[in-house]
């Protein structure tokens, strides 16, 4: 641990979290090629085809380590893979004058990182080997990786061995095959996810229909109880008993209609008789007079 309270790996991890965003990919301790290649503490690429802005960060926690790096020119190895090199240090470790010309400086203060000097960015084109290294071996070193790694295998070593033995054309074909296999794996995962969603939707629809059927059955049972009460029947009653009771009520209704018809005829006859009696009485009174 340095006099400033930071361990090297902790400082690098803290810087990686600071640099991470939706528009930027971040790697830590990522070797950008075969054995012996440069290995920046933190490496970033913007998620942009036109402006990827590859940047290498070198973390230092002691002045002696910083002087050794700047004197030996170790940082210059990063320029093969990065358009800018930035030194990351705890506050108070150095000043911008201690940093090589063209390099940037970012300082970890008490709670935040602050850019003290901007790096001079140079145009750079990432070699194909570096791109393959980032895609194949860099997955496990990316911060908050979101790409699944289906199997752990040193594909970089395999591709390098194929290239040396059979040439770049065969190595490229091997990389294309690996890409096709990865695409097939992704397709299988997407298809499995699609079927999983279909199963969830089907299950939800089935449960909805079951719940509706239960509600309908409950309403039917309540309507049945109301009908039994109106018919004057006690539960449980068979279908035959219900039909027989309905037939009885229909007969009673028809009988009531016939009685009403006779009562109406008798009432009419009574009114006619009363009218005739009054007429006869009036005639008798006239004769007596």
* Residue range 118-129, pLDDT digits in tens: 999 999 888 887
CB contact burial 158-172 (16+ within 10 A = b; e otherwise): ebbebbeeeeeeebe
Query: What pLDDT does 158 receive?
Result: 66
Can you list the pairs that 21-25 forms with residues at least 24 positions away whose Cβ atoms lie under 8 Å? 22/47, 23/47, 23/48, 25/142
pTM of the model: 0.49
| Tens digits of residue pLDDT in 236-287 | 777 777 788 778 877 777 776 666 776 676 676 667 767 777 777 777 777 7
> Please, are residues 88 and 117 in contact by the beta-carbon 8 Å criterion?
no
Q: Which residue has the tokens 């009562």?
A: 263
- Rounded to the nearest integer, the mean pLDDT of the chain is 79
Class level of CATH domain 8-126:
alpha beta
For residues 261 and 84, the model is more confident at 84
Higher pLDDT, 68 or 33: 68
Q: Are 91 and 4 in contact (CB under 8 A)?
A: yes
Query: Tell me: the pLDDT tens digits for 162-179?
Result: 666 666 665 566 666 667
Q: DSSP secondary structure string, 249-264?
A: HHHHHHHHHHHHHHHH
Residue 156 has which token pair?
């970089």
């Amino acid at each position: 641990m340095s006099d400033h309270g930071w361990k090297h790996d902790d400082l690098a991890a803290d810087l990686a979290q600071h640099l991470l965003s939706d528009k930027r990919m971040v790697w830590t301790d990522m070797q950008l090629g075969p054995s012996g290649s440069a290995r920046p503490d933190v490496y970033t690429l913007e998620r942009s085809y036109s402006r990827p802005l590859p940047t290498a960060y070198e973390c230092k926690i002691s002045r002696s380590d910083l002087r050794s790096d700047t004197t030996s020119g170790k940082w210059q190895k990063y320029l093969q893979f990065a358009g800018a090199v930035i030194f990351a240090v705890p506050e108070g470790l150095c000043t911008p004058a201690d940093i090589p010309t063209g390099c940037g400086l970012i300082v970890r203060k008490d709670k935040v990182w602050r850019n003290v000097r901007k790096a001079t960015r140079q145009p750079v084109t990432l070699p194909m080997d570096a791109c393959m290294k980032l895609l194949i071996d860099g997955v496990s070193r990316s911060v908050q990786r979101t790409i699944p790694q289906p199997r752990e295998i040193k594909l970089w070593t395999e591709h390098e061995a194929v290239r040396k033995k059979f040439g770049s054309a065969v190595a490229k074909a091997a990389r294309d095959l690996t890409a096709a296999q990865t695409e097939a794996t992704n397709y299988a995962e997407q298809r499995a996810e699609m079927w999983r969603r279909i199963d969830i939707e089907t299950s939800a629809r089935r449960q909805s229909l079951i719940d509706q059927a239960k509600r309908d059955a409950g309403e039917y049972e309540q309507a049945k109880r109301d009908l039994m009460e109106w018919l004057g029947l006690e539960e449980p009653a068979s279908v035959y008993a219900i039909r027989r009771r309905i037939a009885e009520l229909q007969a009673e209704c028809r009988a009531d209609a016939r009685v009403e018809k006779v009562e109406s005829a008798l009432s009419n006859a009574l009114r006619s008789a009363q009218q005739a009696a009054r007429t006869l009485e009036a005639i008798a009174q006239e004769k007596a007079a």
